[in-house]
Amino acid sequence: MAEVVLFHHALGLTEGVVAFADDLRAAGHTVHTPDLLDGRTFGSIEEGVAHVREIGFGTVVRRGAEAVADLSEELVYAGFSLGVLPAQMLAQTRAGARGALLYYSCVPVAEFSPVWPAGVPVQVHGKSEDPVFAGEGDLDAARALVASTKDAELFLYPGEQHYFADRTLPTYDEDAAKLLMERTLTFLS
pLDDT for the residue numbered 81: 96
pLDDT for the residue numbered 63: 96
Phi/psi for 4 (5° steps) reads: -120, 140
Domains of the chain in start order, with CATH, are 3-188 (3.40.50.1820)
Is 0.75 surpassed by the pTM of this model? yes
Phi/psi for 102 (5° steps) reads: -110, 110
pLDDT for the residue numbered 51: 95
**Radius of gyration in angstroms for the set of CA atoms belonging to the chain, rounded to a whole number:** 15
Cα 19 from Cα 64, distance rounded (Å): 20
pLDDT for the residue numbered 4: 98
Cα 131 from Cα 135, distance rounded (Å): 5
Say which residues have a Cβ less than 8 Å from residue 60's Cβ, sequence separation at least 6.
36, 37, 52, 82, 85, 86
- Cβ proximity of 105 and 138 under 8 Å: yes
Q: How many CB atoms lie within 10 A of CB 36?
A: 27
Residue by residue, pLDDT tens for the chain (189 residues) are: 999 999 999 999 999 999 999 999 999 999 999 999 999 999 999 999 999 899 999 999 999 999 999 999 999 999 999 999 999 999 999 999 999 999 999 999 999 999 999 999 999 999 999 999 999 999 999 999 999 999 999 999 999 999 999 999 999 999 999 999 999 999 999
Classify residue 116 by its DSSP letter.
Answer: P
pLDDT for the residue numbered 35: 97
